[in-house]
Structure formats: structure tokens, C-alpha cells
Amino acid sequence: MKRNREDMEIVWQTPANPPERHDYIFRNGIRYVKPYYFEFISHAKVRWAGKTIVDLFADEFKGRNRDYYVRTYRYADSAVKSGRIQVDGKTVSVYYRVQSSQKISHFLHRHEPPVMALDVEILHKGEDVLTVCKPASVPVHPCGQYRKNTVVGILQAEHDLAPLFPIHRLDRLVSGLLILARSASQAEIFRQQIEAGMVQKQYVAKVVGEFPEEEQVVNLRVNFNAREGRSTVEPESTDEKVNGKSACTKFTRISTNGKYSIVSCHPVTGRTHQIRVHLQSTGHPIANDPLYLSDHIDSNSRRAFTAHKTAVKSTHSLESKSNDNHISESEHSVEDFDIDPMCTNCPNLAPIGYDGSEEGLWLHCVRYSGPDWVYECPYPEWASLSL
């Protein structure tokens, strides 16, 4: 049963609170995080000085209405009076006037986005280096709305591995080899080798159409638009007005059945969405990448993509039954969590706006090599084409 507000014991969490195994809930092939109270911190700007704490939040943080800060409809408490909003670590009154540079804390009932319930497989565990096969949909480290539902968080909760220092990044929807240093000094060694151009990378992708047999080298600048969350390409130019960053990727066809091709991708540089947008520029985008599926792709390809998404959902549903049976024998089965009456997201586990329809991209990191080391990851199942 869910507990009433009166007997809830609220435990405030900060970044110092490590993820634990019992923080996760598994349902229908999806990994959720139990909502938790988390401290969001900001420091008062000069222009905030003199404002009451209520006016400050109502004017500057418009995600909630004024009643949330002053009172709630069901309780006489407010976010300020209950201590969910604090100044320099202390509870203040709704009339308190903020001073410049003060620490402002807002403790929220945080709902993390869910990810696919796939294991973070450990490939190599050494004294200085850990390598894993990162599952698609899981971000590498805490970012944005994600904190516990990350590779680093899951490894700490389920394998007691900490601290870890990722030495490269994979996009959230990309799977494959992830290398993590086990000390800051080892991470610095990797960083220096990467910056010196001593590290080679290899990915594999499943793309639309029959990719050319000969090697394709794409030298197109990549311009990432953070607001839109996507990149565009533009040719190399001496024009100072060009915004994109120089980027080069080499592509080699591994196999094809005419409809799809498996392509080996060797990025020389490391720009955001580089492989995805460079493949799009060749006319052979990743076959399940809605962000970069070109407008000229025929309707049959789009119908195939839609059918694939439907099949993926059905597969997740079937797989979840055996997954849930396994989980029921462990502490992962504890699915109860406290409903917070002041939370704007409860009783849902996922944040508002999450539609649950995402899947992993057909892009997978298979190999990283340096001056005296090589780490590899097995190929995914989709990298085998039926003729």
C-alpha cells in the first residue's frame, strides 16, 4: 500500500547518494527508477536580490504555479513551508528576501525516464580498465533527467563498481563497446591518447539500400543544433561564415541483401551524430533512424521501418514475461513507491511526456584500439542479414 502524506518519511537525496539495486523497478521489458527526492541547486543571481523566495520561483521557474510555493489545495503546507525550498541549507518563510550568491535548494520528487531493461554486460574487468557492452537507450553517465538510469549508475548499483570514468561517449540510443577507466590517472592517459589522434574507432551500422562496394570517405563538416537535437552537414570551405566542425568518416560495406546493408564505420573525428548524418549524406541512412531518414527514401522503406517498430514492441512484451519471472525472485520485485501529493507527476513512474515508443538504433560500437591496447565488443544480432 502507498503511505499517507502524514506518515511519509522523506529522505532528501543529493548527488552524493549512490544508486542501489533496490532503486529499480522492471515492468514489461522496461527499467524504471523509483521516484526519489533530489536536491536541485542554483545560486542567486544579482538580479534576484531583494525578491521574496516565492516571487523568485514564480517568476524564474515557471514549471509550477504560485500555489505550489505558497500552499497546496490538499494541504496547508507549501514547498517553502515544508522545507522543499531552502536557502543556504535552511528553511525560510514565504516572505524571505533572497540575497545575491545565496545557495537556493529545491528538493523535488524526481521521476527519471525509463530505459530498456537490458543488462550492462561486463566484457573485461581489469585493475585499471573496465569495458562493457552498453545497451541501447541507456545514457553513459548522469545527464539531463537521467541519474540512476545510466550505465555508470547501474554498474554501481548492481556490481558495486565505483568510481568509474568513461573515456568516450556513446549516444543514448547507440549500443556497443564502452571503455571506463577505474581511476582519474588512467582516464587522463586515455584522454591524452585520444587528443593525440592515437585511438581508432570502429562501429557497425545497418543502413537502407545497397551500399557501394568500394570504400566511401565522407568529408563533410558537421553542425549540431542543440535546440533541435540534430546535426546537418556542409561541405568543406574556406568561408569564415561556415559554422560546422570538420569531420571525416570512412565506410566499408560488409554485406548486403539489396534492401539493407551492413556497413563498417570508421570515424576519424568525433562530432555529435557524425556517423548518422554522414550516412544520411551518402543516401544510405541508418534504417531505423527516424531523425535522419532522408526525405527521398521510398514509402516501402518507411512502411518497413514502421512495421519494425511494431515488431520491436511486441518482442519487448514477450521478453518481459520471462524477465519479470526472473526478477520476482529478487529484491527487484519491490514495486511499491511513495505517492507524493505535492508531486506534479505522481502516480506515474515515467515523467510526463514519455511515450514509451523509443528503441535502439542500428548503430553499434565494436572496437577501440590504441598504441598498445585493443578492446572489442560482439556484433549485435541485427548485423546478420538474411539473403
Active site residues per annotation: 171
Q: Considering Cα of 68, then 74, then 78, then 82, what sign does the dihedral take?
A: negative
Burial 193-209 (b: 16+ CB within 10 A, else e): bbeeeebebbbbbbbbb
Backbone φ, ψ for residue 246 (5° rounding): -55, 140
DSSP 3-state assignment of 315? helix
Smallest CA-to-CA distance from 142 within 37, 14, 42, 26 is with: 14
A 10 A CB-CB count for 18 gives 13
Whether 319 and 307 have beta carbons less than 8 Å apart is answered as no
CA distance 85 to 218: 51
| Burial label, 385 (beta-carbon count in 10 A; 0-12, 13-18, 19+) | middle
Backbone φ, ψ for residue 185 (5° rounding): -65, -40
Q: What is the DSSP string of 99-118?
A: -TT-EEEEEEEE-PPPEE--
Burial 288-325 (b: 16+ CB within 10 A, else e): bbebbbeeebeeebeeebeeeeeebeeebeeebeebbe
Instruction: Give the three cell numbers for residue 111.
Output: 521521476
A 10 A CB-CB count for 237 gives 10
Q: Considering Cα of 263, then 237, then 234, then 201, what sign does the dihedral take?
A: positive
Q: What is the DSSP letter of 126?
A: -
Q: CA distances (Å), 256 to each of 205, 352, 369, 380, in order?
A: 12, 41, 27, 16
Whether 261 and 230 have beta carbons less than 8 Å apart is answered as no
